[in-house]
Amino acid sequence: RKEVEQDPGPFNVPEGATVAFNCTYSNSASQSFFWYRQDCRKEPKLLMSVYSSGNEDGRFTAQLNRASQYISLLIRDSKLSDSATYLCVVNIRTGGFKTIFGAGTRLFVKA
Amino acid sequence: NAGVTQTPKFRVLKTGQSMTLLCAQDMNHEYMYWYRQDPGMGLRLIHYSVGEGTTAKGEVPDGYNVSRLKKQNFLLGLESAAPSQTSVYFCASSYSRAEMTYEQYFGPGTRLTVT
């Protein structure tokens, strides 16, 4: 089992739709959580950090459920510009540290 | 504030050649990382550094060496390039405090082709 697993995608949604991505992690020593977006042939860019139970930034809401070991990302009122790959990232405290990137979920928003 | 920069942006090597990729950050971050990303795959950690003068192996370190002589720079070396090292290489850096690491900031990447 992978340490971080994401919805395989791709997700194809119309403009204005609400879309949710899920990410599960297996290591209970997971400490901090992030969502990144990556555009084609570009570097990953931080979308949101999720340090507590969840947080909201405009059309984006991230939630963390430590008991069930998953985080989610909700995008409301999807825009064409939201088309990208969304990466779930988990930092694990192991005595040192370990950062695990999910494989990503591809989102296509169409007009 | 340039963030994280990488040079070169593109490079083509022949099998057996060597090269060094340079990463620089101006955010005074302690931690720096080198990743590779192959088509259809996630990011895989090659090496990382938790401070000047220290380096450690990541998930896929074979065929690569690194050095962190200055806090702001992290170099990735390929001593004898192989076609399997054709990839996009990303450098990243992050702040750390009290055994906790924070979000990573990435450079624009280096596209390397080994023929």
Nearest to B109 among A31, A43, A89 (CB): A43
Quick one: average pLDDT of A77-101? 89
Token digits of residue B110? 């280096």
User: How big is the CA angle at A17 (ends A109 and A6), to the nearest 5 degrees?
Assistant: 70
Residue A9: per-residue pLDDT: 87
Query: Cβ of B101 under 8 Å from any chain A Cβ?
Result: yes
State whether A91 and B101 contact (CB < 8 Å).
Answer: yes
Write the pLDDT tens digit of every residue in B62-103: 999 999 999 999 999 999 999 999 999 999 999 877 666 688
Is residue B18 predicted with pLDDT exceeding 90? yes
pLDDT at A98 over 90: no
Partner-chain contact B101 A102, CB within 8 Å: no
Q: In degrees to the nearest 10, what's the CA dihedral of A98, A99, A100, A104?
A: 180
Dihedral sign of CA atoms B69, B3, A38, B93 in order: positive
d(C-alpha A1, C-alpha A5), whole Å: 8
> Which of B100, B101, B107 faces A43 most closely, judged by CB atoms?
B107
For chains A and B, count residue pairs whose Cβ atoms are closer than 8 Å.
44
Q: How far apart are CA B18 and CA A15, in angstroms?
A: 47
Does residue A51 have a pLDDT over 80? no
The region of weakest confidence among A59-63, A90-94, B14-18, B66-70 is A90-94
At residue B61, φ and ψ (nearest 5 deg) are -85, -15
CB-nearest to A34 from B90, B103, B109 is: B103
Is B64:B78 a contact under the CB 8 Å cutoff? yes
| pLDDT at res. B100 | 66
**Residue spans of alpha helices (H) in A1-111:** none
Residues B27-39, mean pLDDT to the nearest whole number: 93
Task: Report d(CA A22, CA B14) in Å as an integer.
Answer: 42
